């Protein structure tokens, strides 16, 4: 195993463990409130959750019954995935092309060496008009400020490559996706003290109203566009030729 691969695996496991800390659980709670409301508006047959928080069923409120989890961190001993799942890499998904209605990327792009390839894989497996939900840290936030202060530690989630909305919009435009919804989350400073975080809960409502651009996390919903073809009217003179071809092929 090369150094880059082992480094990525170590980061994923560290991020998984961080989501079990009080601060990580608090963030998951804030994200879940928004995701539950968003998922209630999306329909389909198959949904896929990708990320390291495999034991958190973030698709629980989805109207889609067939839900799967791809655990990017690899399940360890004693750990159970939230739903029917698979082990695999986000940039090489073990999923057939054009078969998934909804993909949830939960803090995946910030910690992958090639986030563009991950999005291309999502584009591949999504059906036309399918949706992708991206949950990603915002580089213009109090969370990003703490990231700069703790950069030397190089530990998740502070070591990730946080993604701004403009960058995500550019990537989606290149892939042919339309952004339908952006929901900012996590306006409180990322403090380790649970009681203080609870006292600062009012900042969530105030932040959504007054400074949404400084949210710690952005939840983005995008829809895969379908290229429309201009219908061409058949010329009546060609009708006998088409009929002959059908008759000939049917008589074989």
| pLDDT score at 153 | 61
How far is residue 109's CA from residue 167's CA, in Å, rounded to a whole number? 12
pLDDT recorded at residue 102: 98
d(CA 186, CA 40): 21
Helix (H, G, I), strand (E, B) or coil at 181: strand
Q: Domain 3-250: which topology?
A: Rossmann fold (3.40.50)
23-32, 93-102, 237-246: range with lowest mean pLDDT: 237-246
Torsion of CA 90, 92, 97, 102, to 10 degrees: 0
For residue 251, what pLDDT is reported? Answer: 46
pLDDT at 38 over 70: yes
> DSSP for 90-104?
TTB-SS-TT-EEEEE
With a cut of 80, say whether residue 33 has pLDDT above it: yes
Place of tokens 């009929």: 243
| The pLDDT value given to residue 247 | 38
Mean pLDDT calculated for residue range 177-187: 97
CA distance linking residue 71 with residue 52, whole number of Å: 6
Residue 74's nearest CA partner among 58, 92, 51, 96 is 51
**Which of the pair, 216 or 52, is modelled with greater confidence?**
216
Q: Lowest mean pLDDT: which of 40-49, 133-142, 241-250?
A: 241-250
Q: Per the structure block, which two tokens stand in for 144? A: 């990003």
Residue 73: band (very low, low, confident or very high) from pLDDT cuts 50, 70, 90: low
Q: Where are the domains of the chain?
A: 3-250
Please answer whether residues 129 and 156 qualify as being in contact, where contact means their C-beta atoms are separated by less than 8 angstroms.
no
Alpha-carbon dihedral angle through residues 68, 90, 135, 62, given to the nearest 10 degrees: -10
Which residues in 110-216 belong to E strands, given as ranges? 126-137, 177-185
């Amino acid at each position: 195993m090369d150094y880059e691969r082992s480094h990525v695996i170590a980061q994923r496991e560290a991020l998984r463990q961080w989501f079990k800390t009080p601060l990580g659980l608090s963030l998951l709670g804030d994200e879940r409130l928004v995701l539950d409301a968003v998922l209630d508006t999306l329909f389909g047959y198959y949904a896929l959750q990708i990320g390291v928080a495999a034991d958190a069923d973030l698709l629980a409120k989805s109207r889609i019954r067939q839900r799967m989890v791809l655990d990017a961190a690899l399940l360890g001993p004693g750990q159970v995935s939230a739903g029917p799942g698979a082990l695999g890499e986000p940039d090489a998904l073990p999923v057939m092309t054009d078969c998934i209605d909804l993909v949830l990327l939960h803090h995946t792009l910030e910690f992958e060496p090639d986030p563009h390839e991950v999005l291309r894989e999502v584009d591949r497996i999504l059906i036309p008009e399918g949706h992708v939900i991206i949950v990603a840290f915002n580089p213009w936030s109090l969370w990003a400020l703490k990231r700069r202060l703790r950069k030397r530690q190089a530990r998740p989630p502070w070591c990730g490559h946080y993604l701004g909305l403009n960058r995500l919009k550019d990537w989606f435009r290149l892939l042919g996706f339309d952004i339908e919804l952006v929901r900012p989350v996590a306006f409180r400073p990322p403090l380790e003290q649970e009681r203080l975080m609870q006292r600062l809960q009012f900042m969530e409502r105030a932040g959504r109203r007054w400074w949404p651009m400084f949210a710690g996390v952005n939840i983005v919903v995008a829809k895969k566009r379908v290229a429309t073809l201009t219908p061409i009217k058949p010329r009546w003179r060609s009708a006998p030729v088409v009929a002959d071809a059908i008759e000939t092929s049917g008589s074989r």
